[in-house]
């Protein structure tokens, strides 16, 4: 499977001096068009670098340090496991996911039937109520106390996104204190990009809930890859933890392929694979994939809110081709949820 400069690789470009990747580079429509533009036209190379610096809490010099032969061997083992779909840290598919996705896609499913499906999984019920009351989804001041109330207030479309987040959230929870910062930031980034992709899809009359779910897969692939990398390094003749530079390379090279493995192993509907492929292999001349644009917008806004280096607004507008007034509305929704989430954590 072709490599995809991280999940952002479907979005982000690297400079010509960057080391070659293990497969063909992926270009979104904006970057394909940029080939005919001046050298100083906006690209997402620096945005990608700023994201990894923030997620891995390391400066560019550390992340871009040349890897030694042992690290290259670790990457080769990781790539082999991805190709064979034999990742030991791949999250198991939630038991109720297949029946839930079928129910949510069936127009004949009523509120009572959906509530019964959710209540049959106590862990999912707990997560769903937690997520439904989070700043990203809560629609008012009233606390949602029951699944039936959540179904009534959020509606089927809103519930799809809440269920997606509720399913993903436990898998992205930190296992220990050393993983805590990375897991927290990846989760915030994933939710922000997923929400942005949903909003962009809505502007283009597409099913936003599909793009929301697809937008969470890159974040889950980050957690999966980091854990798999740690497992490989600790099983080496001389056990050690992966360096930030090695982790950076693993995320950059294999994020996209890992997201595809997740979609395949979980048996997600073909439309999810289609959205991932749409972002991976954009067709010149067609409209921009909402997933690509959502990740660019979401990445820029989460970095900006975290007071990290990011990308000027005028450059974002050139890349995503969204009218300024619509971009402002999307940005306002995203920032409101990010800021509310920050207040809730304080």
Residues in CB range of 67: below 8 A, 6 or more apart: 75, 245, 246, 249
CA distance 296 to 29: 13
CA distance 323 to 120: 44
DSSP string, 254-289: HHHHHHHHHHHHTT--HHHHHHHHHHHSPPTTSPPP
pLDDT of res. 345: 67
CA distance 240 to 118: 42
pLDDT of res. 30: 41
> Which H or E run contains 233?
helix 208-234
What CATH number belongs to 183-345?
Answer: 1.10.3210
Q: Report the Cα–Cα distance between both ends of the chain, in Å, rounded.
A: 42
pTM of the model: 0.86
Residues in CB range of 88: below 8 A, 6 or more apart: 81, 228, 231
Q: How many CB atoms lie within 10 A of CB 146?
A: 13
Ranges of residues in the chain with a pLDDT under 50 are: 1-40
Helix axes 290-305, 208-234, angle to 10 degrees: 70
CA distance 332 to 22: 38
CA distance 91 to 223: 10
pLDDT per residue as tens digits for the range 16-65:
333 434 433 333 434 444 444 444 456 788 899 999 999 999 999 999 99
pLDDT of res. 39: 47
pLDDT of res. 322: 92
Q: Where are the domains of the chain?
A: 183-345
> Which H or E run contains 295?
helix 290-305
Tokens 């297949």 belong to which residue?
Answer: 98
pLDDT of res. 332: 94
Structure tokens, 194: 């997923």
pLDDT of res. 287: 65
Tokens 């009233």 belong to which residue?
Answer: 142
Output 104-107 pairs: Cβ under 8 A, ≥24 positions apart. Answer: 104/156, 104/159, 104/160, 104/163, 104/209, 105/269
Residues in the chain: 346
pLDDT of res. 12: 40
């Amino acid at each position: 499977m072709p490599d995809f400069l991280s999940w952002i690789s479907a979005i982000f470009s690297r400079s010509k001096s960057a080391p070659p990747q293990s497969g063909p580079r992926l270009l979104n429509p904006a970057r394909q068009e940029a080939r005919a533009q001046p050298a100083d036209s906006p690209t997402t190379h620096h945005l990608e670098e700023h994201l990894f610096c923030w997620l891995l809490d390391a400066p560019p010099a550390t992340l871009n340090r040349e890897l030694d032969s042992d690290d290259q061997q670790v990457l080769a083992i990781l790539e082999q496991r991805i190709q064979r779909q034999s990742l030991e840290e791949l999250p198991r598919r939630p038991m109720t996911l297949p029946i839930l996705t079928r129910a949510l896609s069936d127009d004949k499913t009523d509120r009572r039937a959906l509530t019964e499906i959710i209540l049959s999984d106590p862990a999912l019920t707990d997560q769903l109520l937690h997520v439904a009351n989070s700043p990203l989804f809560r629609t008012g001041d009233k606390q949602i106390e029951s699944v039936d109330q959540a179904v009534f207030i959020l509606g089927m479309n809103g519930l799809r996104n809440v269920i997606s987040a509720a399913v993903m959230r436990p898998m992205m929870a930190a296992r220990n204190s050393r993983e805590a910062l990375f897991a927290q930031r990846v989760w915030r980034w994933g939710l922000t990009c997923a929400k942005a992709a949903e909003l962009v899809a809505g502007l283009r009359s597409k099913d936003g809930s599909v793009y929301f779910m697809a937008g969470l897969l890159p974040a889950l692939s980050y957690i999966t890859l980091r854990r798999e990398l740690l497992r490989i390094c600790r099983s080496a003749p001389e056990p050690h933890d992966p360096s930030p530079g090695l982790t950076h390379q693993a995320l950059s090279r294999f994020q996209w392929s890992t997201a595809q493995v997740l979609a395949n192993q979980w048996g997600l509907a073909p439309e999810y694979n289609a959205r991932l492929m749409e972002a991976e292999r954009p067709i010149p001349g067609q409209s921009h994939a909402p997933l690509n644009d959502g990740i660019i917008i979401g990445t820029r806004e989460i970095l900006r809110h975290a007071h990290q280096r990011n990308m000027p607004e005028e450059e974002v507008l050139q890349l995503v081709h969204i009218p300024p007034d619509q971009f402002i509305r999307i940005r306002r929704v995203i920032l409101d949820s990010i800021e509310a989430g920050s207040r809730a954590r304080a």
